[in-house]
Amino acid sequence: MRLSQTKKVKNFIDFYGKPFTIDNVTGETGLTHIQARKVVAKLMHLGMVKIIATEGKRRIYLKNKDYVEKNPMNNYGYEIDFIKELTRLIKTGNYHSQRQLEMKIDAERGKISRYLVAMASIGMITIENDFYKFKVEKDYLLVGSKVDKDILLKFREKNRAEKEVNMARKEKVLKDASGREYPAKILDPQIVKRDTLVSRVMSRAERLHDKITYEKQKLAADIDKYLQKTAEQYGENWKGNAELVSFDGNFKIEVRNRERIEFDEKLQVAKQKIDECLKRWTEDSNVNLQAVINEAFQVDKKGEIAKHRILALRKYNIKDKNWKQAMDIIDEAIQVTSTKQYIAFYKRKSPNKPFELISLNFSAI
């Protein structure tokens, strides 16, 4: 289980057992100086450590003997407050997955799983109809006294078996596209089998889609948090694109922000200006240029203008007052309606090899 930064520093202080500096903390925990200073400052605020000396800019710290842990554990290494919080959530909410609990409580899924197993093993909680349910009050000091690692899996298998029995007892009914109901027993068996297969596979596909969406949001949040903290070191907010490469050069993350644009009513004014130019140029203008301009303002089957064609008109170096005014109006007509973030992941076997895209198709989600 991955330790939090605070837990790493607390473990170091307990193990070290003598005065220490921030350099000692970073050397033993792998944290940066900024991270270590923040955690030590937090522990000072809680009263766990105190400053005993100062050498130049360096401070020397020592564990406060009067410090009392505010989040006591039972004899089996389980936090009492965390047990209480999990109990409260399960009593008051409907949770069918550890991911849902993870979104409600400040803890990693591995820790949540460990506590659920311990609580279920002594009969505090169970699983009914695929939801975690509180069963009976138990002394929090007993959590961890008995641990059956497969207890939650057994509960889910029991739920699944009961559900299958209930479904077998209940007569299966299928609906057609018009909403009419038909008892399965009067339909062609192949129709029933196909419907069962499609329903089962679609259910799994939807769950997979939800999981991918959730993971994408978490990945994007982690990347945005890192970029924002990087910018804040210089008193700025992060804007724009980014390319992040691992220290060994074998992994790369690309972040691209693309703006979606629309044209407001000024575009029609620009079109009128361009039409005036075309009328004046009728005798000696390039016929191909007229075709390009006329095509740019054509709409597709959805009634939408191809924006890239309109924007491409600005590349022509035409020394005409009306034309230049039309191009300025097009610039004014551009409206940014939204911004979409695209994240791509790449890997390679060695720094002298080309990067290969890890295909996730995040842009479609």
Note down the domain range covering 150. 80-167
In a domain, 84, yes or no: yes
Sign, CA dihedral 110-103-358-360, equals positive
- Are 292 and 361 members of one domain? yes
In a domain, 70, yes or no: no
Residues facing residue 252 across a β-bridge:
245, 346
pLDDT tens track for 74-133: 878 888 889 998 999 999 989 988 888 888 887 888 889 999 999 999 999 999 888 999
Residue with tokens 């008995």: 146
Tokens of 47: 């009263």
In a domain, 173, yes or no: no
- Are 86 and 19 members of one domain? no
CA atoms lying within 13 Å on the CB side of residue 158: 10
- Are 209 and 322 members of one domain? no
Question: Measured between alpha carbons, how far apart are the two ends of the chain, in Å?
Answer: 30
- Are 45 and 12 members of one domain? yes
Q: pLDDT confidence of 1, banded at 50, 70, 90?
A: very low
User: Which among 63, 91, 111 is the end of a domain?
Assistant: 63
- Are 283 and 252 members of one domain? yes
pLDDT tens track for 188-243: 889 888 988 998 899 888 888 888 888 888 888 898 889 888 888 888 888 778 89
CA distance 351 to 332: 45
In a domain, 46, yes or no: yes
In a domain, 74, yes or no: no
Q: Between 198 and 283, where is the model more confident? A: 198
- Are 138 and 96 members of one domain? yes
pTM of the predicted model as reported, rounded to 2 decimal places: 0.40
Q: Is the confidence at residue 359, as pLDDT, over 90? A: no
Ramachandran region, residue 126 (left: φ > 0; alpha: ψ -120 to 50; beta: rest):
beta
Q: Between 27 and 278, where is the model more confident? A: 27
- Are 162 and 187 members of one domain? no
- Are 124 and 163 members of one domain? yes
pLDDT at site 131: 92
- Are 254 and 362 members of one domain? yes
- Are 265 and 294 members of one domain? yes
In a domain, 68, yes or no: no
Q: How many domains does the chain have?
A: 4
What number is the average pLDDT over the span 39-50?
84
- Are 248 and 336 members of one domain? yes
Q: Is the confidence at residue 146, as pLDDT, over 80? A: yes
- Are 267 and 338 members of one domain? yes
